[in-house]
Structure 1
Amino acid sequence: MTQPIALLDGPLWPYLALMLFAVLPTEIWRWLAVGFARGLAADSPLLEWVRAVATALLAGIVAKLMVSPPGALAHAPLFIRVAALATSAAVMAISRRRMMLAVLSGEVVLIGGVWLFGAV
Structure 2
Amino acid sequence: MTGFIGDWHALAILFVAGVIPNQIWRMLGLWFGGGIDESSELLVWVRAVATAILAGIIAQIVVQPPGALASVPDWLRYGAVAAGFAVFMLTKRSIFAGVIAGEIVMLAGKTWLG
What TM-score do the two structures reach when normalised by structure 1? 0.83
Q: Deviations over 1:16-56 (max 9, x none)?
A: 11111111222122111111211111101111111011101
Higher mean C-alpha displacement, 21-30 vs 73-82? 21-30
Q: What are the equivalent positions in structure 2 for 1:4-15 lying under 5 Å apart?
A: 11-15=7-11
Percent identity among equivalent residues?
A: 42
Structure number with the bigger relative contact order (C-alpha 8 A, sep ≥ 6) is 1
Bigger CA radius of gyration: 1
> Normalized per residue, which structure has more helix?
2
Shift of 1:11: 3.0
Task: Find out whether 1:101 has 2:97 as its counterpart.
Answer: yes
Task: Find out whether 1:27 has 2:23 as its counterpart.
Answer: yes
Aligned-residue Cα RMSD (Å) equals 1.5
Q: Once superposed, which parts of structure 1, at least 4 consecutive aligned residues long, lie more than 6 Å away?
A: none
Task: Give the number of equivalent residue pairs.
Answer: 109
Where structure 1 has 5 or more consecutive residues not aligned to the other structure, the ranges are 1-9
What TM-score do the two structures reach when normalised by structure 2? 0.87
Distance 2:45 2:23 in 1: 22
